[in-house]
Chain A
Amino acid sequence: AQSVTQLGSHVSVSEGALVLLRCNYSSSVPPYLFWYVQYPNQGLQLLLKYTTGATLVKGINGFEAEFKKSETSFHLTKPSAHMSDAAEYFCAVSVPYNQGGKLIFGQGTELSVKP
């Protein structure tokens, strides 16, 4: 069965500092992984996704994530935080089609950016 664990429900960084949001997954098959961002009272927006190929995935707004099979991780990073990055971030893994083809989401990590 597929599952996702996001380490840390809340992360706080200073503006200009490195952003690191942690995600570990469990999957019985090669995983497809996603990071979404949610601003207050809005829907989710796709930041990036890993399907196959290059393990370092670049997304929107300067974010990137690295798929590490040996560590079952897909951590999200950004070299320099901006105030506008303050939001909630969700990691997700997709379930194979023959098991429903759904997305399984982590609990979310709220990112705060201090001036």
Chain B
Amino acid sequence: DGGITQSPKYLFRKEGQNVTLSCEQNLNHDAMYWYRQDPGQGLRLIYYSQIVNDFQKGDIAEGYSVSREKKESFPLTVTSAQKNPTAFYLCASSIRLEQLREQYFGPGTRLTVT
């Protein structure tokens, strides 16, 4: 079955540690996205990528980094510079970065930093 996988489902880290969240898709989509979700704030875009080896900052990129070395993979690193990293992180993909193309979402990773 085609889809987006995110692992792990739950992740716990100590403050000051970097952590990498995995996102893999087998939909052959060109575009991939990372969102952060906090209660009552909807989804906020962290980074997005239109094509391999290229990515752009979203609205809240500070304290995060990404890579896009393969079409199917778009890992997100939450660095120690992120002031409030505890959140639910969602990865998404779409066929292309076009206005009318819907995005498909993974199941999410809940990160807790203490």
Is A115's beta carbon under 8 Å from chain B? no
- Which residues of chain A have C-beta atoms less than 8 A from B98's C-beta? 97, 101
Q: How many residues of B contact A (CB 8 A)?
A: 29
Select A103's contact among B4, B40, B50, B103, beta carbons within 8 Å.
Answer: B103
- Residues A102 and B43 in contact in the complex (CB < 8 Å), given A42-B108, A46-B104, A49-B102: no
* A43 engages B90 (CB within 8 Å): yes
Measured CA separation A41–B97 after assembly (Å):
26
* Residues of A contacting B: mostly: loop
Select B105's contact among A9, A43, A107, A108, beta carbons within 8 Å.
Answer: A43
Select A101's contact among B6, B43, B88, B97, beta carbons within 8 Å.
Answer: B97
* A41 engages B99 (CB within 8 Å): no
Size bracket, chain A contacts = 20 to 34
Measured CA separation A44–B48 after assembly (Å):
17
- Residues A42 and B107 in contact in the complex (CB < 8 Å), given A49-B102, A101-B99: yes
Closest to A2 in B: B99
- Residues A90 and B107 in contact in the complex (CB < 8 Å), given A34-B102, A46-B102, A102-B58: no
- Which residues of chain B have C-beta atoms less than 8 A from A44's C-beta? 43, 90, 92, 105
Is A95's beta carbon under 8 Å from chain B? yes
Nearest Cβ distance between residue B75 and chain A, in whole angstroms? 17
Measured CA separation A17–B84 after assembly (Å):
40
A-B contact pairs, 20 of them (CB 8 A): A9-B40, A32-B99, A32-B100, A34-B102, A41-B88, A41-B110, A42-B107, A43-B4, A43-B6, A43-B90, A49-B100, A90-B43, A94-B100, A95-B99, A97-B99, A102-B45, A102-B48, A103-B43, A105-B43, A108-B40
Q: Which 3 A-B pairs have the closest CB atoms?
A: A43-B105, A101-B97, A44-B105
